[in-house]
Amino acid sequence: MRRIANIGRLPAWAVLAVALLLTLFPFYWMVRTALTPAADLYTDSGALFPRHPTTVNFLRVLGLTTQEEARAAGGSGAQINFARYLLNSVVYSGLIATFQTFFCAMAGYAFARLRFPGREFVFGVVLAALMVPPIFTLLPNFVLVKNLDLVNTFAGMVAPTILMTPFAVFFLRQFFLSIPRDVEEAARLDGNGPWGVFWRVVLPMSRGPLITIGLTTTVWAWKDFLWPLLVGREEQTRVLSVALGVFLQQSPNTRPDWTGLMAGSTLSVLPVLLLLVLLGRRLVQSLNFSGIK
Amino acid sequence: MRTMRSAERSQVAEPSVAGAPRRRRTRPRDDRRAAWIFLVPALAGFVIFYGYPTVRGFWYSLTDYNLLTAPAYVGGDNYAQLVRDPQFWHSIAVTAYYVLINIGSQLLLALLLAALMHRLTRSVVLRAMLLLPWLVPNVTVALVWIWLLDAELGFVNHVLRALGLGTIGFFMSPDWAMPTIAMVNTWAYTGYTALLLYAGMLQIPPHLYESAAIDGAGELRMFRSITLPMLRPVLALVLVVSLIGSFQIFDTVAVADRGGGGAGSAVRVIYYFIYQQAFQYFHMGYASAAALMLAFVLGVLTVVQMRLLRASRSDLA
């Protein structure tokens, strides 16, 4: 297939190259700053490469240096432990993505294939919840979690999203509807109950959509900020996004600890970069308008 | 084992065939018991964290509630106060300003990128790289850009000074803060939006372009006469989805306002207004009323989205 006339190609590629540069440069600058010693921040702030590259900023935000060393390297002396926050973020996203996907698959299958009275009505009610924006339920949910004494616990943090989101139920139901009925009927005749059909036939056939939902949920949870800020501010449950916000606040307004902040920022990018390298093809191809969230 | 269970099942299922004999496959089946087991986790989550809080949210909006003492019913007072609150209207104006800049620039750039990719390359690596900003927490995005745009040491201001354009305060200046935040989020979401549009473009039959090329049409003409009209349903859907997301801007503003400081009310978007009312002043009832107003706008947009989703399916599926 001839895609484009040869003469027109060069400027078009040039535009794409500029877009790519603009997309990636801020990440480069983040890493560059993270590798710069705090002492060079003023003299080096326009240089494209760090003159005295160092890993001390990573070590100190990970809590691997002593307080004195951290302060000498530009830290404010406040306790920061990004190893802990990184772990908290992984636990938070991992728990939500795994269980939400599984429970939504169960519900989606029931709505798609099982026959029971009131099915369409119940599904309609769940679907209607797509219209309620998160901020509206966030206020009462906060009150609920607070009254249950679950603030600053992982239980309280994952509670609202670990069981379901209306979108995931809807998305998976749509997929299950597209599975040929014959396959399931055959499995039933082989002696499988509804659970057997779901577990042995439907789930293995649905790897693609399950990974899609699992991935988008992981990304969503990784980026989540407001709910963890309200419910998981304390050290033991603080996730990366909240930690970065707190870090900025604790850092003096006149002279923020940019080398440390950029080291922390880099740590929040690395895991998703890994995800992109490992599952990039799947992630990129799952983004079409049926996968819109 | 399997055959035995099969025999049991058919016996159990038999009585439900009332009257006339039918083919086995079309026999009405009732999975009531299994269905409730499948639905228990999701429905529990739905009732506790979607249904109940929706009702509570309505109730709170009719009360005076400070999180410490029980909510006291005040009727429509919160709403009456809200429509007379200049800060509320200001936050709506600020949000609209943000949405306008953000959605306008983001959709145009995404459309350009998608069209170029569509006609030039199928590279997965390129698409993955364009997606990277979307995968990163908004807080990280905000931090990196606050640093890049720092008035004194930021790289962008070094470049501006080198070009003789002087220094711009960006996040610090009341005039620049909102456009800056809008453009930062355009940076974060353009790649994602472009990929959605690109996926829509892949649905356009390639032979249309081939025959247009034979007829001597140039690339711009093909974009105008083939890509744009064929993409319209997808474009409309992406627009509405982006709008819904854009109205809910919070993270970037929260970080920029605390860290950069200074811009204050110039960046107080509606989400931030609600957040401050609820969690800084503990006006839960008032915040709920404002949230309900926002919910109404977003609800209308979501209904439009669902309509478009159905329309785009029938057009392109």
Return d(Cα B154, Cα B123) in angstroms, integer. Answer: 33
Judged by DSSP in three states, B286 sits in helix
Query: Which residues of chain A lie closer than 8 angstroms to B41, CB-CB?
Result: 103, 106-107, 163-164
| Mean per-residue pLDDT, A270-277 | 92
Domain range list for chain A: 6-77+251-286, 82-236
- Dihedral of CA atoms A94, A95, A96, A102 in degrees, nearest 10, equals 100
Do residues B221 and A16 lie in contact, with contact meaning Cβ atoms separated by under 8 Å? no
Q: Is A115's CB within 8 Å of B28's CB?
A: yes
Q: Which two tokens stand for residue B129?
A: 């790289």
Among A172, A175, A200, smallest CA distance to A100 is for A172
Return d(Cα B24, Cα B28) in angstroms, integer. Answer: 9
| Residue A250, C-beta contacts closer than 8 angstroms, at least 6 positions apart | A76, A78
Each residue's pLDDT tens digit, A181-202: 898 889 989 988 899 999 999 9
CA A204 and chain centroid, separation: 24
* Mutation target vs A (from B37, B111, B140; most A CBs, 10 A cutoff): B140
Q: Is B130's CB within 8 Å of A169's CB?
A: no
Q: Which residues pair with B73 in a beta bridge?
A: B63
Task: State which amino acid sits at residue A109.
Answer: Y
Q: Is B124's CB within 8 Å of A280's CB?
A: yes
Closest Cα in chain B to A247: B259
Please state the pTM of the whole predicted model: 0.89
Each residue's pLDDT tens digit, A70-100: 777 777 666 678 999 999 999 999 999 999 9
Q: What is the pLDDT, as a whole number, of residue B233? A: 85
Q: Is A140's CB within 8 Å of B57's CB?
A: yes
Q: Is A20 on the interface with B (CB under 8 A)?
A: yes
Return d(Cα A230, Cα A155) in angstroms, integer. Answer: 14
Return d(Cα B205, Cα B192) in angstroms, integer. Answer: 23
DSSP code at position A38? G
Among A76, A58, A54, smallest CA distance to A67 is for A76
Closest Cα in chain B to A241: B139
Do residues B252 and B170 lie in contact, with contact meaning Cβ atoms separated by under 8 Å? no
Q: What is the pLDDT, as a whole number, of residue B4? A: 39
Q: Which two tokens stand for residue B93?
A: 């104006």
User: What secondary structure does DSSP assign to A157-206, as a single string?
Assistant: HHHHHHS--HHHHHHHHHHHHTS-HHHHHHHHHTT--HHHIIIIIIHHHT
Reduced DSSP (H G I as helix, E B as strand, rest coil) percent helix, strand, coil of chain B, to 5: 75, 0, 20
Q: Is A135's CB within 8 Å of B145's CB?
A: no
Going along chain B from its start, the domains and CATH numbers come out as: 78-316 (1.10.3720.10)
Stretch among A39-53, A171-185, B75-89 having the lowest mean pLDDT: A39-53
Q: What is the CA radius of gyration of chain B?
A: 27
Q: Is A288's CB within 8 Å of B144's CB?
A: no
Q: Is A284's CB within 8 Å of B127's CB?
A: yes
Minimal Cβ distance to B41: which of A46, A139, A163? A163
Q: How many CB atoms lie within 10 A of CB B247?
A: 22
Query: What is chain A's mean pLDDT, rounded?
Result: 89
Q: Is B147's CB within 8 Å of A261's CB?
A: yes
Number of helical H runs and strand E runs in chain B = 15, 2
A:67-86 residues touching chain B, CB 8 A cutoff? none
Query: Which residues of chain A lie closer than 8 angstroms to B46, CB-CB?
Result: 126, 129, 163-164, 166
Q: What is the pLDDT, as a whole number, of residue B312? A: 61
What architecture is domain A82-236?
Answer: Orthogonal Bundle (1.10)
Task: State which amino acid sits at residue A51.
Answer: R
Each residue's pLDDT tens digit, B119-150: 999 899 999 999 999 999 999 999 999 999 98
Minimal Cβ distance to B119: which of A3, A117, A287? A3
Query: Which residues of chain A lie closer than 8 angstroms to B153, CB-CB?
Result: 41-42, 45, 258
Return d(Cα B314, Cα B13) in angstroms, integer. Answer: 38
Each residue's pLDDT tens digit, B252-268: 999 988 644 556 778 89
B17 CB-side CA count, 13 A: 13
CA A259 and chain centroid, separation: 24
Residue A90 burial (10 A CB sphere; 0-12, 13-18, 19+): middle
Return d(Cα A285, Cα A175) in angstroms, integer. Answer: 16
Each residue's pLDDT tens digit, A11-67: 899 999 999 999 999 999 999 999 999 888 888 788 888 888 999 999 989 988 877
Q: Is A289's CB within 8 Å of B312's CB?
A: yes
